[in-house]
Amino acid sequence: MKNVEGQCRLYKSPDGDYRLNLLNAKTVIGKLVEIYVRNYDEFKEKFFDIVIRPVAVYKSNKQLGYWKAEVVAKAAWGFTTAGWQGMTEEKAEKMLKEMYLTETVLNTDTGEYKTFTKSLADATKEEMIDLIDKSVIFLSQELGVECEDPEDFKKRNLKTNFE
């Protein structure tokens, strides 16, 4: 089953009632019709489940810079010194993401759970903070690798474009 995504706005009207407004309603409805209406002449109605969650705040370039240049680089070095053969930054990043940026989702049709690793492109600012914090703690406790404090890293790299 395909998902159709859109945004809505919850607001309080002048009469004191709470209202929900579907933003870009024509686009959302058009996509629903395109996907789910096969015979326009005989169509009467169809029901859908809705999941509403707050709009995510996406990670910053500063976070990504610290992640790639400090955490991932030190992770690759730490795994290599711990005896992992052929460790690259890409492999180290993949391992950390699999440890700390995974979600388990229930397929309501089959009743089965599926675990998948979220991409950095889809990670929110909060998820990125969590990934970085857990990775830094793991590197310190399990591999004995200390990452530079983010504020010190930022000061040292002021001339680069991390903002």
Average pLDDT, the chain: 87
Other residues' Cβ atoms within 10 Å of the Cβ of residue 48: 9
pLDDT in tens, 82-130: 999 999 999 999 999 999 999 887 777 788 888 889 888 888 888 899 9
pLDDT in tens, 4-33: 888 888 899 899 999 999 888 888 899 999
Whether residue 73 contacts residue 133, with contact meaning beta carbons closer than 8 Å, is answered with no
Predicted local confidence at residue 163, as pLDDT: 44
Whether residue 111 contacts residue 104, with contact meaning beta carbons closer than 8 Å, is answered with no
Predicted local confidence at residue 111, as pLDDT: 83
| β-pairing verdict for 113-117 and 18-22 | unpaired
Q: What is the pTM of this model?
A: 0.61
Asked whether the predicted pLDDT for residue 160 surpasses 60, the reply is no
Predicted local confidence at residue 1, as pLDDT: 67
Residue 149 structure tokens: 């404090």
Residue 142 structure tokens: 């399990």
Total residue length of the chain:
163
Predicted local confidence at residue 51, as pLDDT: 85
Separation CA 2–CA 23 (nearest Å): 20
> 11 exposed, middle or buried (CB, 10 Å; 0-12, 13-18, 19+)?
exposed
